[in-house]
Amino acid sequence: MNLRRTTVALLATGLVGASAGAAAAAPHEAAQGHGIEAGDHAFVDVTTATLWVEPGLDRPIDAPSLTNPVDLDRWNRNLADTETRRWLTGKLETQAVLGSEVEVTEVAGEWAHVVVEGQDTPRDDRGYPGWLPVDQLVESDRFDTLTETRPWAQVTDERTWLTATPTGSRPLSEISFNTRLPVLAETPQAVRVALPDGSGAWLAQDAVDVYDQGEQPAAPTGEDLVATGKQFLGLRYLWAGVSAYGFDCSGFTYSVHRAHGVSIPRDSSAQAEHGQDVAIEDLQPGDLLFFAQPGGVGHVHHVGMYIGNGKMIHAPNASESVSIVDWQDWDTDDEFSGAKRMI
């Protein structure tokens, strides 16, 4: 882990023994789904929310991604067939992990149109747009205040469990890499975090990095970015994915940089307009490689990360998983359009 707080909060006996399950059973201080309207600021209340181009495009097999709680492992099993998975192309916008803040711009029945803060895009200055079920959102002034005033924990493992006890017993739900939650207290083995619905739960210390309010991860090296990316080798591609349940090409590069406190745009075409140009002969690990139409012209449609020795790591397409390739051998149609350094 890159950083560990040097002071550990000593918890009162009552807090150490407190159960997140009991907290969840109590009346929530947050207003889940109901009452949300345009202009509200809300938080994602599921492991990972998937945003659609418009309401009602989903199929019965997509149902596990649209509930609260979600079952993304089941959804991935439903998408085992390549054509079933590829069908999502152009129908999904992006994803947002638990605790992500959104601005609600429209509500239509059981769906809300939102913009996801922290996912930069030229499409909207406020964040990345898309539709998701209203029931996957929650309003909470308390959680909002905690995110602005408390230390925060960022998940560094590919996935980890929220549990009801600091010993890790009584697992509650699994959450993704890059999830950021306010810290309420710490023990040497665990971190108690606030959840958007008003409850709390525990995370293992070795699954997260904890930062003081206003603090960011240490500036990464290119090798740091590559090491983080390699955590996800073998993870199946998912159009619009930005979580440990699936990445698309730019969701992968966006998420790896975000994990190190580096802000880059969400999509490959916008990423290609960001950062510092790098010539092929000057490539270093961590640089991003962009691909457009044959001849390297036109709209950028793909991005990978250079890892050295002529190789790149990337999330290729719906039939494949995060993998390492010789990037020039892979680029059979001569689509390379340039490289950028973001750090």
Please pick, among 113, 257, 260, 302, the residue that the annotation labels catalytic. 302
As a whole number of angstroms, the distance between CA 238 and CA 251 comes to: 9
Please pick, among 28, 249, 257, 260, the residue that the annotation labels catalytic. 249
Task: Give CB contacts under 8 A, 24+ apart, made by 109-118.
Answer: 109/55, 110/55, 110/134, 110/135, 111/55, 111/56, 112/36, 112/42, 112/137, 114/42, 114/51, 116/51, 118/258, 118/263
| Strands across the sheet containing 190-194 | 171-176, 159-163, 200-204, 190-194, 180-186, 152-155, 208-211
- Alpha-helical segments (H) within the chain: 13-16, 20-25, 72-78, 82-86, 141-149, 222-230, 249-259, 268-271, 327-330
Closest C-alpha among 145, 113, 133, 12 to residue 65? 133
Q: Which two tokens stand for residue 219?
A: 């500036």
Reply yes or no on whether 249 is catalytic.
Answer: yes
Q: How far is CA 83 from the centre of its chain?
A: 24
Please pick, among 113, 257, 260, 314, the residue that the annotation labels catalytic. 314
Which residues are annotated as catalytic?
Answer: 249, 302, 314
